Amino acid sequence: MIEVVQVIDTQHENRIGKIYQSIFSKASKYHNKNYEAKYKEIIFKDIIFHENHDFIKKYEVNVLPTTLFFKDNELVFKKEGIMATNHILHILEEI
């Protein structure tokens, strides 16, 4: 199973965070529409920064947004800052 995790801050939302939430949502919807048959076991989810201190510490999340890609519960790729929709989808194809 593959998980794509977006770390967000709901207490101090800013323009960049809102833009990236839109991009992340677009990647999820695109995946569900076009790739679901091929890559069924991909889950897109949000982790809220201030509610998940252990997760934040374990994966050394210092920048928001941060996107983490897990395969079989192992971190395989981490990107701090905004990613384009195509970049997210490209990484999924490579995993």
- Tokens representing 27 are 């990647």
Residue 78 has pLDDT above 80, yes or no: yes
Query: Which residues make beta-bridge pairs with 5?
Result: 45, 68
Task: Give the whole-angstrom CA distance, residue 13 versus residue 93.
Answer: 30
Lowest mean pLDDT, pick from 9-13, 15-19, 24-28, 74-78: 9-13
Q: Considering only CA atoms, which of 79, 85, 84, 51 is closest in space to residue 64?
A: 79
Q: Is 72 left (phi over 0), alpha (psi -120 to 50) or beta?
A: left
pLDDT in tens, 22-50: 999 999 988 777 665 565 688 999 999 99
Q: Calculate what percentage of the chain has a pLDDT beyond 70.
A: 93
Q: How high is the pLDDT of residue 40?
A: 64
Record the pTM. Answer: 0.89
Residue 20 has pLDDT above 80, yes or no: yes
Q: How many CB atoms lie within 10 A of CB 70?
A: 18
Q: What is the mean pLDDT of the chain?
A: 90
